[in-house]
Structure 1
Amino acid sequence: MRYALLLLSLVLPGLARAQAEALENPGTVSAVQERLYRMNHELTLGVGVLPADAFYKGVLGTVGYTYHFTDSFAWQVGRGSYSYNLKTSLREQLERDFDASPTSSAFEEQVQWMMGSDLVWSPIYGKMAVNNRSVVHFSAFLLGGATVLKLQRADGFRPAINLGLGVRVFTGRNLSFRFDVTNNTVFVGATRLIQVPTLQLSTAFNFGATE
């Protein structure tokens, strides 16, 4: 009996404290904060590069318009890009040392311009502290759609499937910056495909949005 009473005297205070803590903190409550910035009509002006081709590198200028139906779903109604192309040292060497023709099929596949449309899904929105002094709001998105490209070749209009992802950083209700990484799978012939990846940084002007 003495041992039982001693054990109870040690256990009961601990149980009492646990009960008191449970009453003070009945459970963990999680809250999801609403988005601070919402998009509506978005006009984008951007610059970018076509980095992948061995014979040229393209410097892109892009303009686009996107309509946002909800916080997470949008339609990039139209986008158009013009590419200013620069020869690589490999192409210059081939033309200089091996008399490669500027109209050879390998050189004719460089992009001159492209136009397309995409659906955009933005499942991620968040904020982060920068050096404990400011808060940055951002979102991440996926996009997919179709593109028509004009290649340098005579019959140069080609269809493509465009897939990509990106991130947006908000600076206010009417202005944000977005970085897009996309890839166009271009149907050159019945059995041949080429890949045209792009990297683009854009300034996005937002009209009709609310905080």
Structure 2
Amino acid sequence: MRYALLLLSFLAPGLALAQAEALENPGTVSAIQERQYRMHHELLLGVGVLPADAYYKGFIGTVGYTYHFSDTFAWQVGRGSYSYNVNTSLRTQLERDFEVSPTDTAFQDEIQWMVGSDLIWSPLYGKLAVLNSSVLHFEAFLLGGGTVVKTERQDGFRPAVNLGLGVRLFSGKTVSFRLDVTNNVVFAGASRIINVPVVQLGTSFNFGATE
């Protein structure tokens, strides 16, 4: 009995303090704000670059349409990109100094255009305060889908798998800006695979959103 009373005397101040704090703060509430901007029908106009090939660099223009089923899930129903290609100094040197033909097999993987479709998952949405004077709303997303690629080859239609990620910055209800970084894994033959990375900046126009 004596030991029990001794133990209680040690615990009593802590229990009293905990009870006082509980009375002052009866509960905590965690609130998650709704998105300020929602997407529905999205029209994308973009420009970008194909930076990886050693023999040329492609500068692309893209048009796309995306339907947003919810805040986190969307289908990029269609996208099409045309590439304006510029020869690198390496290719120019090979053609000039080593008389390599412009139709040589090494140059035939040059991309002319691409069309495809993707699924988009946007698990992250947030906002940032800039110098305590303005708030930026943004989201991050992952995408994956399929592409048909047209190369310089005579039979140049090739299937590809497109994977990537991106970030969207909202300017308002109607306009947002996208940065997409993707890679098309092109099946160029029975045992050949070509990676075609794309870095693209785009302006998106949103129609039909309820908020």
Q: Bin the TM-score by the shorter chain.
A: over 0.9
Counterpart-to-counterpart distance in 2, 1:70 and 1:45: 22
Counterpart-to-counterpart distance in 2, 1:165 and 1:72: 14
Residue identity matched to 2:126: G
Counterpart-to-counterpart distance in 2, 1:149 and 1:157: 6
Matches within 5 A, 1:41-190: 41-190=41-190
Deviations 1:59-89 (A, max 9, x none): 0100000000111111100000000000011
RMSD (Å), alpha carbons: 1.7
Counterpart-to-counterpart distance in 2, 1:183 and 1:18: 56
Contact kept, 8 Å, 1:38 with 1:173, in 2: the verdict is yes
How many residues are aligned here? 207
Residue identity matched to 1:66: T
SS in 2 for 1:106: helix
SS in 1 for 2:190: coil
Instruction: Kindly state the Cα deviation for residue 14 of structure 1 after the two structures are TM-superposed.
Output: 5.6
193-202 or 18-27, which deviates more: 18-27
Q: What is the TM-score normalised by the length of structure 1?
A: 0.93
29-38 or 40-49, which deviates more: 29-38
Identity, in percent, stands at: 73
Match of 2:25 in 1: 25
Residue identity matched to 2:89: S
Q: What is the TM-score normalised by the length of structure 2?
A: 0.93
Structure 2 residue ranges without an equivalent (≥5): none
Contact kept, 8 Å, 1:37 with 1:210, in 2: the verdict is no
Counterpart-to-counterpart distance in 2, 1:100 and 1:153: 17
SS in 1 for 2:108: helix
Counterpart-to-counterpart distance in 1, 2:11 and 2:39: 58
Deviations 1:144-191 (A, max 9, x none): 111001101111111101011100000100000000000000011011
Instruction: Kindly state the Cα deviation for residue 17 of structure 1 after the two structures are TM-superposed.
Output: 3.5
Decide whether aligned partners of structure 1 residues 147 and 20 sit closer, same or farther in structure 2, where only a CA change above 3 A counts.
same
Residue identity matched to 2:152: Q
Does residue 39 (structure 1) correspond to residue 22 (structure 2)? The answer is: no
SS in 1 for 2:29: coil
Decide whether aligned partners of structure 1 residues 11 and 185 sit closer, same or farther in structure 2, where only a CA change above 3 A counts.
closer
Counterpart-to-counterpart distance in 2, 1:151 and 1:12: 80
Counterpart-to-counterpart distance in 2, 1:173 and 1:91: 46
